[in-house]
């Protein structure tokens, strides 16, 4: 197998991966960035509503970074590591200023300062935005800047398949060039996983088609733990029926959720915050309305923007307006937008500390949605994720640089391991008959949505675990019909399917294990939060077909758990 | 507000391509509803009928720029196009999907975009702010109206549709193409940028190579209007110190158009040609016009319009 050598391999060219690369390359180290898609096609481009930031001299005079940390911790139902939330808040202003200076065209106040809007769960408005295409604006800026360094090698339309490790440390990544299926062993001293989320595990998701959880599965197969894998976020306002996100900005700018009687039903579920309640609460409220017969036929409710006026809607909520128009034939200036919850974000991820370092495997780092730092705990607040990708992308980059400064060369040879990884991938191509990846994936998405979704029960999750086991068996017989080597997307879809199954098993088993309701993990059979037994992080390893679970304490600094009411 | 749905069976004919087999058409039958996007139709074909079909798609919400292709011959984003809308627009439930024009096909609907990216990189697509701003020692505040104007041209998602349909890109290797011009102008016009002169060098000559055919304007799924960016870039010519032959010709052409309208109130193609290209250049083009049968239009003699004095007033900016 062909080999290349780098100081660092970064898997993923979304905001987190690019930010880490920028930091590492600026310090003079060689970096390869591997991405399934051209960098600006990464999922970060879809982020709409904004990025949270407390900016000195440009925030509400009563606000301060401690309030921001507090909102994040409370929003995450106290499963947030408080040192991480503080770091996120205290660095937020600076990172937005950096991006601003790199050219991001943030919306402005009349005096030229960066403008601000409200997002769910915020005591004071803190969300900075570029219309409702904030993610795209940020991603293009960071890509343009990082590629301008001339020091980072981009391998786009390359598929990372396996992490290569020895007894204690990471040694690189095996990846395929998607144009010709040629495998290459990227040898590296450190690897940063910035491979994003996993929305395709669910039948209804706002995520991009490429979010198949590859990084989580690569970590699991390399005997690395995921932290809090049971926490999956559902966004309350996905457009019916295409599941395109209608940004939380719509509610932040004054949009109102209404049932089929025209009632502002959030008054019943979050009397103080109303429509600006966090996502888990609003999602459950919508599904409860639907279940109790107050939704519209097909299972959705209305998001009413009509009172905001045409001009305001078209400037500040352009994408929401456009999406409703193009994909549901609705004119949001005149009618309500049909919405329902859909999978949106993954709070769980590769276990790392606040420097992005993984404790299981020396030299492995993770950042962005692929990682669990944990700043989002049991439920992420809107506009905190873009912030996380940049702040922790940069922190991780810095930690990698520090790691490289004291690095010593290992003596063992691991080329055999890389060849094994190539074989496991090719196995699916060599088989002559069996099932297609599509069959398995479609079933998996259905099961996850039904049984490991917004509302969870013991029976449902047990069923999910056994179904996933069956699908994993079925997957042993999958084969690839396309025998060509040129841009064989079927081959990569089959590998993605394997990744999705590994991750799904871990999610279902850990969800079944957590016998309480906290944030986005809501169990009808245990509807209360239970701090006595469950105020702890789940740490899960995958060994063959078994999921091994241990726990880690939540880091507390200033804030004691209190009841979460809005 | 319950939504009326419809269901319909459609036949999607995909122009497939492989390096060993060349190209062929393949048909897929599919039930779709009123909300089915072409990316979803393709995903369903791939997972339910034919896993070998290759195409690009990611965001399914028209922001990542992956899914450019031709739908019934029209350059479009597959995710931003609904199947049933297309059936209605063309009055047929048989729809064709083909890869974008101009770029080299790789497989089925996937084309090689290296040429597109190279064009984008040529314009130095990034802000070069002052050192003080970079170090955080100074802040350069952007006026809301500047932000709005720049954002229009910054919204390019690198989908390549405009380049695939631009005639000048095909004919003129020196032309940077519509998307690169939109990107280039977005930074040229940014008051925070410090390499304006260098950008003028990169952009000006190329800006005069566009034919103003407006294809890029018509196909762009993000309303970036590359041709508007090109027009605005041309306006920088007045400031340029060194002018290439193309720029000079271009400026002469603009001047000639002005004079023609000033004199007769009409665009006298022949006169404009003569003033722009001189006698030799015009002769060469006349031969082309003769061959294509268009010469008769060029030789029509125009009489001034009746209210020419009004036209002149407008042109003088009165
Ligand atoms: C519709 C939508 C709207 C959102 N809006 C907001 C918002 O307004 N504010 C906010 O804060 N957050 C928002 N989010 C969340 C936020 O966008 C994401 O969490 C964030 O962008 C993730 O960035 P990332 O860098 O971690 O990963 P991504 O941007 O997802 O990048 C992942 C990268 O990994 C690569 N990759 C993955 N697997 C492989 C593999 N096997 N081989 C090679 N490469 C691979 C991909 O190609 C890609 O480059 C939104 C999310 C969605 C779905
Ligand atoms: S207007 Fe100019 S840039 Fe646009 S398509 Fe026509 S020739 Fe190309
Ligand atoms: S200008 Fe428009 S059509 Fe051209 S690449 Fe950009 S988004 Fe696509
Ligand atoms: S899939 Fe992203 S633009 Fe169509």
The predicted pLDDT at position A190 comes to 98
* Average pLDDT, integer, range A49-56: 94
Interatomic CA distance for residues B158 and A419, integer angstroms: 36
Residues B311 and B256 reside in one and the same domain: yes
Residue B286 pLDDT level (bands cut at 50, 70, 90): very low
**Cβ separation B62–A296 shorter than 8 A:** no
Catalytic sites of A, residue numbers = 279
Query: What's the pLDDT tens digit per position in B238-285?
Result: 877 667 777 777 777 666 665 666 666 655 555 555 555 555 444 444
Residue ending a domain, choose from B92, B111, B130: B111
**Cβ separation B144–A133 shorter than 8 A:** no
Structure tokens at B206: 């190329």
* Average pLDDT, integer, range A87-105: 97
Say which of B39, B125, B151 has its CB closest to residue A144.
B125
Residue A378 pLDDT level (bands cut at 50, 70, 90): very high
| Chain A residues within an 8 Å CB radius of B134 | 101
| Chain B residues within an 8 Å CB radius of A338 | 1, 3
Element (DSSP H or E) covering residue A93: helix A92-102
Name B106's bridge partners.
none
**Cβ separation B136–A97 shorter than 8 A:** yes
Residues B187 and B254 reside in one and the same domain: no
* Average pLDDT, integer, range B1-5: 69
Residues B60 and B145 reside in one and the same domain: no
Determine how β-strand A152-156 pairs with β-strand B68-71.
Answer: unpaired
**Cβ separation B144–A209 shorter than 8 A:** no
Q: Is residue B1 part of a domain?
A: no
Q: Is residue B305 part of a domain?
A: yes
Residues B169 and B232 reside in one and the same domain: yes
Q: Is residue B2 part of a domain?
A: no
The nearest CA of chain B is from the CA of A167 a distance in Å of: 37
Residue of A nearest to B64 (CA): A41
Work out the mean pLDDT of chain A and round it to a whole number: 95
Residue of A nearest to B113 (CA): A38
In chain B, % of residues over pLDDT 90: 68
Q: Is residue B3 part of a domain?
A: no
Q: How far is CA A509 from the centre of its chain?
A: 20
- Total domains in chain B come to 3
Determine how β-strand B22-33 pairs with β-strand A256-258.
Answer: unpaired
Question: Per-residue pLDDT for B96 more than 80?
Answer: yes
The predicted pLDDT at position B296 comes to 46
Atom of ligand 4 nearest to the CA of B221: 3
The predicted pLDDT at position B137 comes to 87
Structure tokens at A266: 């959030």
- In degrees rounded to 5, what are phi and psi of residue A432? -100, -20
Residues B13 and B57 reside in one and the same domain: yes
The predicted pLDDT at position B175 comes to 97
* Average pLDDT, integer, range A25-52: 97
* Average pLDDT, integer, range B55-59: 97
Question: Per-residue pLDDT for B304 more than 70?
Answer: no
Query: What's the pLDDT tens digit per position in A265-320?
Result: 999 999 998 998 888 899 999 999 999 999 998 899 999 999 999 999 998 888 88
Q: How many residues does chain B have?
A: 318
**Strand extents, DSSP E, A213-361:** 226-227, 232-239, 256-258, 301-304, 337-346, 349-351
Residue ending a domain, choose from B78, B111, B144: B111
Work out the mean pLDDT of chain B and round it to a whole number: 86
Query: What's the pLDDT tens digit per position in A154-176?
Result: 999 999 999 999 999 999 999 99
* Average pLDDT, integer, range A412-437: 90
Note the ligand closest to the C-alpha atom of B216.
2
Q: Which of A38, A128, A314 to mutate to test the interface with B (most CBs of B within 10 A)?
A: A38
- Sign of the torsion angle spanned by Cα atoms B115, B118, B122, B123: positive
Residues B148 and B190 reside in one and the same domain: yes
Pocket of ligand 2 (CB under 6 A): B 166-168, 178, 210-216, 226-227, 230
The predicted pLDDT at position A185 comes to 98
Residues B122 and B213 reside in one and the same domain: yes
Q: Measuring CA to CA, which residue among A399, A3, A384, A396 is closest to residue A172?
A: A3
Interatomic CA distance for residues A50 and B154, integer angstroms: 17
| Better pLDDT: B86 or B289 | B86
* Average pLDDT, integer, range A318-341: 91
* Long-range contacts of residues A157-161, Cβ cutoff 8 Å, at least 24 apart: A157/A35, A157/A36, A157/A37, A157/A38, A158/A34, A158/A35, A158/A36, A159/A36, A159/A492, A159/A495, A160/A11, A160/A34, A160/A36, A160/A195, A160/A214, A160/A215, A160/A218, A161/A218, A161/A421, A161/A425, A161/A495
DSSP structure class, residue B45? I
The nearest CA of chain A is from the CA of B9 a distance in Å of: 19
The nearest CA of chain A is from the CA of B242 a distance in Å of: 27
A96-100, A275-279, A360-364, B177-181: least confidently modelled range: A275-279
Residue of B nearest to A261 (CA): B1
The predicted pLDDT at position A475 comes to 93
Question: B126: domain range?
Answer: 114-243
* Average pLDDT, integer, range A230-246: 94
The predicted pLDDT at position B300 comes to 46
Residues B122 and B238 reside in one and the same domain: yes
């Amino acid at each position: 197998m062909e080999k290349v050598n780098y100081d660092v391999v970064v898997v993923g060219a979304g905001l987190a991966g690019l930010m880490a690369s920028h930091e590492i390359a600026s310090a003079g180290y060689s970096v390869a960035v591997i991405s399934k898609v051209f960098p600006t096609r990464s999922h970060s481009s879809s982020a709409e509503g904004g990025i949270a930031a407390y900016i000195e001299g440009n925030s509400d005079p009563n606000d301060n970074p401690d309030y921001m940390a507090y909102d994040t911790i409370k929003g995450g139902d106290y499963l947030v590591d408080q040192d991480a939330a503080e770091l996120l808040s205290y660095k937020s202003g600076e990172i937005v200023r950096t991006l601003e200076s790199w050219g991001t065209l943030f919306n402005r106040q009349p005096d030229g300062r960066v403008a601000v809007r409200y997002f769910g769960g915020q005591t004071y408005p803190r969300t900075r935005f570029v219309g409702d295409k904030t993610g795209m604006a940020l991603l293009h800026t960071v890509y343009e800047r990082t590629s301008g360094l001339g020091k980072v090698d981009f391998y786009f339309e390359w598929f990372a398949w396996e992490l290569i490790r020895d007894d204690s440390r990471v040694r690189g990544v095996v990846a395929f060039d998607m144009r010709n299926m040629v495998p290459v062993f990227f040898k590296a001293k450190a690897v940063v996983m910035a491979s994003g989320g996993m929305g395709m595990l669910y039948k209804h998701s706002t995520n991009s088609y490429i979010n198949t959880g590859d990084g989580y599965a690569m970590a699991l197969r390399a005997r690395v733990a995921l932290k809090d894998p049971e926490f999956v976020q559902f966004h309350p306002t996905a457009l019916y029926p295409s599941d395109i996100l209608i940004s939380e900005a719509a509610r932040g700018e004054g949009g109102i959720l209404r049932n089929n009687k025209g009632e502002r039903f959030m008054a019943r579920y979050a009397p103080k915050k109303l429509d600006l309640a966090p996502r888990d609460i609003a999602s459950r409220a919508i599904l409860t309305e639907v279940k109790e017969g107050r939704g519209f036929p097909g299972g959705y409710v209305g998001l009413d923007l009509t009172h905001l006026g045409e001009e305001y809607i078209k400037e500040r909520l352009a994408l929401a307006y456009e999406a409703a128009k193009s994909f549901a034939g609705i004119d949001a200036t005149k009618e309500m937008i049909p919405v329902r919850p859909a999978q949106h974000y993954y709070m769980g991820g590769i276990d790392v500390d606040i420097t992005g370092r993984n404790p299981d495997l020396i030299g492995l780092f993770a950042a962005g949605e692929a990682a669990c730092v944990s700043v989002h705990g049991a439920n992420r607040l809107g506009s905190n994720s873009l912030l996380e990708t940049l702040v922790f992308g940069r922190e991780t980059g810095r930690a990698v640089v520090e790691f490289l400064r004291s690095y010593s060369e290992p003596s063992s040879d691991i080329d055999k391991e890389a060849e094994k990884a190539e074989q496991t991938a090719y196995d699916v191509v060599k088989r002559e008959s069996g099932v297609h990846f599509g069959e398995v994936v479609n079933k998996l998405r259905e099961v996850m949505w039904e049984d490991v979704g917004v509302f969870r029960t013991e029976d449902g999750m047990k069923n999910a675990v056994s179904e996933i086991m069956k699908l994993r068996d079925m997957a042993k017989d999958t084969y690839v019909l396309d025998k060509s080597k040129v841009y064989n997307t079927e081959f990569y879809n089959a590998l993605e399917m394997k990744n999705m199954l590994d991750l799904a098993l871990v999610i279902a088993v850990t969800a079944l294990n957590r016998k309480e309701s906290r944030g986005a993990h809501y169990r009808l059979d245990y509807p209360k939060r239970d701090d006595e037994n469950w105020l702890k992080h789940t740490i899960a390893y995958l060994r063959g077909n078994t999921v091994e679970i241990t726990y880690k304490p939540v880091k507390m600094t200033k804030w004691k758990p209190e009841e979460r009411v809005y | 507000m319950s939504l009326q749905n419809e269901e319909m069976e459609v036949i999607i004919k995909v122009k497939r391509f492989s390096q060993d087999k060349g190209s062929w058409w393949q048909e897929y039958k599919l039930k779709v509803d009123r909300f089915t996007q072409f990316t979803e139709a393709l995903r369903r074909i791939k997972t339910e009928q034919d896993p070998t079909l290759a195409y690009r798609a990611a965001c399914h919400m028209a922001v990542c720029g992956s899914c450019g292709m031709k739908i019934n011959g029209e350059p479009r984003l597959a995710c931003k196009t609904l199947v049933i809308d297309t059936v209605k627009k063309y009055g047929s439930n048989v729809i064709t999907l083909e890869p974008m024009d101009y770029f080299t096909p790789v497989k089925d609907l996937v084309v090689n975009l290296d040429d597109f990216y190279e064009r984008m990189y040529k314009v130095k697509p990034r802000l070069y702010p002052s050192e003080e701003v970079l170090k955080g020692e100074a802040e350069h505040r952007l006026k809301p109206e500047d932000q709005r104007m720049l954002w229009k041209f910054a919204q390019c998602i690198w989908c390549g549709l405009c380049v695939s349909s631009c005639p000048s890109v095909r004919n003129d290797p020196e032309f940077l193409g519509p998307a690169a011009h939109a990107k280039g102008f977005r930074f040229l016009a940014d008051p925070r940028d410090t390499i304006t002169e260098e950008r003028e060098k990169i952009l000006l000559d190329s800006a005069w190579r566009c034919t103003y055919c407006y294809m890029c304007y018509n196909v762009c799924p993000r309303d970036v209007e590359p041709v508007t960016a090109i027009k605005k870039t041309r306006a920088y010519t007045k400031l340029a110190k060194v002018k290439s032959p193309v720029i000079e010709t271009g400026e002469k052409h603009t001047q000639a158009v002005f004079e023609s309208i000033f004199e007769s109130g009409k665009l006298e193609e022949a006169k404009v040609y003569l003033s722009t290209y001189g006698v030799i250049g015009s002769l060469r083009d006349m031969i082309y016009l003769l061959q294509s049968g268009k010469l008769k239009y060029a030789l029509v003699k125009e009489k001034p319009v009746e209210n020419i004095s009004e036209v002149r007033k407008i042109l003088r900016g009165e």
